[in-house]
Amino acid sequence: MRKITFVINGRKIETNERNTILRASLAHGIYIPHLCDHPDLTPFGGCRLCVVEIEGRGLTISCKAPVEEGLVVQTETPVINKVRRIAAELLIVNHHAECLQCVRNTECKLQDIAAYIGIEADHLQRLRQTAGDHPIDNSNPFFIRNPNKCVLCGICVRTCEEINGVRVLDFAFRGYETKISTLMNKPINESVCESCGECVVRCPTGALIIKDYQRPDRVVTTICPYCGTGCGIQLGVRGNKVVSVRGDRDNPINKGQLCVKGRFGYHFIDHPDRLTTPLIKRNGAFVKASWDKALELVATKFKEAQDRYGPEALAGLSSARITNEENYLFQKLLRCLGTNSIDHCARL
């Protein structure tokens, strides 16, 4: 792809010709406030916070302005700051701001913008507050929708349409009553939502949050155990307990995306009913045993069935959760035992 050069705040930047001013600036460490833009999605231009000034053209929103050879761009001028401040204040004054109680606290983009611009509480009080009191949608088993903290950035709408192709959400109603809604404004669990959580991880505010969220103290990168696709995941660990899962954006398989099982199905790790040692039935009851004892018993039973009924009395059922190499070894074992009765949960 052809490279072009333009100037921003007096600094020459080289970037790809199809880039936007906003994304080129962010890639070179130049911060421009923005809410509705996301690198995974097409530009939207809804929040109007990313306004910049192009020499000879005037003000424009940088998220939809393509870079051009020789452009001269300013991100900080008195006019820009005034326009940006007004747009930010109108969002904040209509926003429920219980920040200390919000899961997104310190990770909220609206907080970052307010701190960057320097929003003054006295000025906000002079504006007419129209913050609504919409009911919170708690119907989904994994996440909560709070319309009162929504800034109408449309990221959830575009995520559902562009990434998953499900189109659960869209803009509904008009004017001050505009909000993000499901079809017929029904609870999320009555929609066609697949609970993948892609909208939740991209939401810039507390409008979409994971239930019972705990902030981890460290992150461990690994592979999702649920199927043989091999999606990369980042486990959020607190103490010795897994408290969250995020997709690994550097993994070439899933590039950060996850299904509902991969993102929310980690509670089995610490479930009290999870088996952590082999069990052998003795006198009608299961008792704990070592791996050596368990494997010895299995081999003995295999040999007894083989001697009494022939090798075709044995059969094996493999799993998509293990690797192709492990499945190959499994079928090799069964064929060495003399049977071709092998099946797999993903054969269809």
pLDDT < 50 positions in the chain: 348
Question: What pLDDT was estimated at residue 140?
Answer: 96
Cα angle: 247, vertex 250, 254; to 5 degrees: 50
The answer to the question of residue 192 being in a domain is: yes
The answer to the question of residue 282 being in a domain is: no
pTM over the 0.75 mark: yes
> Containing domain of residue 329, as a range?
310-348
Write down the mean pLDDT value for the chain.
Answer: 91
Count of structural domains, the chain: 4
Shared domain for 8 and 66, answered yes or no, is yes
Residue spans of beta strands (DSSP E) within 224-267: 232-238, 241-247
Percent of the chain residues topping a pLDDT of 70: 96
CA dihedral 207, 209, 212, 215 (to 10 degrees): -120
Q: Give the number of other CB atoms < 10 A from CB of residue 237.
A: 15
Q: Which two tokens stand for residue 133?
A: 């009191």
Backbone angles phi, psi at 161, to 5 degrees: -85, -50
Long-range contacts of 48-54 (CB under 8 A, 24+ apart): 48/83, 48/87, 49/84, 49/87, 49/88, 49/113, 50/22, 51/80, 51/83, 51/84, 51/87, 52/21, 52/80, 53/77, 53/79, 53/80
Q: Pairing between strand 232-238 and 72-74?
A: unpaired
User: 210, 234, 254 — which closes off a domain?
Assistant: 210
The answer to the question of residue 290 being in a domain is: no
Kindly list the distances between the CA atom of residue 63 and the CA atoms of 6, 21, 25, 38, in Å, as whole numbers in the listed order. Answer: 16, 6, 10, 9
| Digit-coded pLDDT (tens) for 28-49 | 999 999 999 999 999 999 999 9
Shared domain for 252 and 233, answered yes or no, is yes
Shared domain for 206 and 222, answered yes or no, is no
Kindly list the distances between the CA atom of residue 316 and the CA atoms of 119, 165, 297, in Å, as whole numbers in the listed order. Answer: 66, 38, 17
Question: What pLDDT was estimated at residue 347?
Answer: 61
Question: What pLDDT was estimated at residue 143?
Answer: 97
Distance CA 310, CA 344 (A): 22
